Amino acid sequence: MISKEMQEALNNQISNEYFSSYTYLSMSAYCESINMQGFAAWLRRQSTEELEHALKIFDYVLDRSGKVTLKAIEQPASKFSSLLKMFQQVVEHEREVTGMINKLYELALNEGDHATAVEMQWFITEQVEEEKNALNLVEKLKLAGDNSSALLILDRQLADSIPNK
């Protein structure tokens, strides 16, 4: 069984993961609107991964005989000034999520809740990958600059890296 404080913190993280999913889906729609289907597909896949993260925590709370309480999800941004700025927001968002996961891990350690600490270790490892992938795209977008040919090549590479639906 998990403590009430841990249960509340995990329920908050479920909402945070759903918000992340919603944010990336909104970004994907923006990319579709500017005919950047590769970027759109990458963001849509990120959205799906965030849903999976939410459900992983959801199931964990239930497995520990906790109560899941779903909360309202804030509306994400839908307009972006450039792909570079949007992906810089992705990096910052992932860093914020990393901070949230670290706090959950610290709470688990402070409570002596080893099972939750182990569960959060998976998310810590996942966040290293998430930040790396987002930062990699930011660096590529910086290199591409305003060069439309370079942006189209990068968009195509992203499209080719996504498995077919």
pLDDT digits 0-9 by tens, 30-80: 999 999 999 999 999 999 999 999 999 999 999 999 999 999 999 999 999
- Looking at residue 7, its pLDDT comes to 98
Range of the domain at 87: 4-161
Give the chain's end-to-end CA distance (angstroms, integer).
Answer: 38
Q: How confident is the model at residue 1 (pLDDT cuts 50, 70, 90)?
A: confident
**pLDDT per residue as tens digits for the range 132-141:** 999 999 999 9
The Cα 146–Cα 157 span in angstroms is 17
Can you give the pTM of this predicted structure?
Answer: 0.93
Collect all residues with Cβ–Cβ distance below 8 Å to 103 and sequence separation of at least 6.
9
The CATH number of the domain holding residue 95 is 1.20.1260.10
Number of domains in the chain: 1
The Cα 17–Cα 64 span in angstroms is 19
